[in-house]
Amino acid sequence: MNKFKFKYVFIGLILLILATFIYQNYIYYKIPYNPLGELNYPDTPTGFHFSENNRKLNETISKSTHNLDTTAYIFEYFSDLNLMPLKSRLKWDEIHNDGDIYYSGMFQFITSPPTNGAQIHISEIYLDNLTIIRISSPRRKFKDGYYKIIDDKFDYEYINELITNSEN
């Protein structure tokens, strides 16, 4: 009787490991997920830094805002994007390109006590392909990675306009 129980426990364990592998490598990349939309913490972004980087001219144009309303609008914009996680090793050609101009941004947060998790980086948004972005943070359990914007593209003009209007 114990041999039969051990056999079923072993088969169950194998099926659990197989289901976990299938979810992590296939199903996870088919479900829309925005890591910014699922953040729940007491503080809100206190600043946003945005830069346009031109590889060909080797120059960077940076803008920033510490206006809480503007920062909240920008964070809401990024949180509301419909994103699909990408497997970076399989989509390398789609993610990385030889584009000359790319955008990057960083949200700042005030945390108590101050930690490295006080930032969220939005990067590698190439002008040639405005549908792929990289989101990362040193926050614990934050799902860093590349994401594809579904049914839309990154509106860098909107972000620039918000920051410019907050300076006036």
Calculate the alpha carbon distances from 7 to 15, 45, 57 in Å. Answer: 12, 53, 65
Q: What is the pLDDT of residue 81?
A: 92
Q: Phi and psi of 34, rounded to 5°?
A: -120, 110
Question: Do the beta carbons of residue 154 and residue 103 sit within 8 Å?
Answer: yes
Q: What is the pLDDT of residue 48?
A: 93
* Polymer length of the chain: 168
Question: Do the beta carbons of residue 64 and residue 52 sit within 8 Å?
Answer: no
Q: What is the pLDDT of residue 10?
A: 87
Q: What is the pLDDT of residue 77?
A: 93
Question: Do the beta carbons of residue 154 and residue 130 sit within 8 Å?
Answer: yes
Token duo for residue 53: 């980087």
- Cα(first)–Cα(last) distance of the chain, in Å? 79
Q: What is the pLDDT of residue 96?
A: 61
Q: What is the pLDDT of residue 43?
A: 64
- Three-state secondary structure along the chain? CHHHHHHHHHHHHHHHHHHHHHHHHHHHHHCCCCCCCCCCCCCCEEEEEEEEEECCCCEEEEEEECCHHHHHHHHHHHHCCCEEEECCCCCHHHHCCCCCEEEEEEEEECCCCCCCCCEEEEEEEECCECCEEEEECCCCCCCCEEEEECCCCCCHHHHHHHHHHHHC
pLDDT tens, the chain, 168 aa long: 567 788 888 888 899 998 888 887 777 778 888 888 877 655 678 899 999 998 888 889 999 999 989 998 999 999 999 998 887 655 556 666 666 788 999 998 876 555 555 789 998 888 888 888 999 988 778 888 888 899 888 999 999 999 998 876
Fold of the domain spanning 33-167: Dna Ligase; domain 1 (3.30.1490)
pLDDT tens track for 115-146: 555 789 998 888 888 888 999 988 778 888 88
Q: What is the pLDDT of residue 23?
A: 80
Q: What ranges do the domains of the chain cover? A: 1-31, 33-167
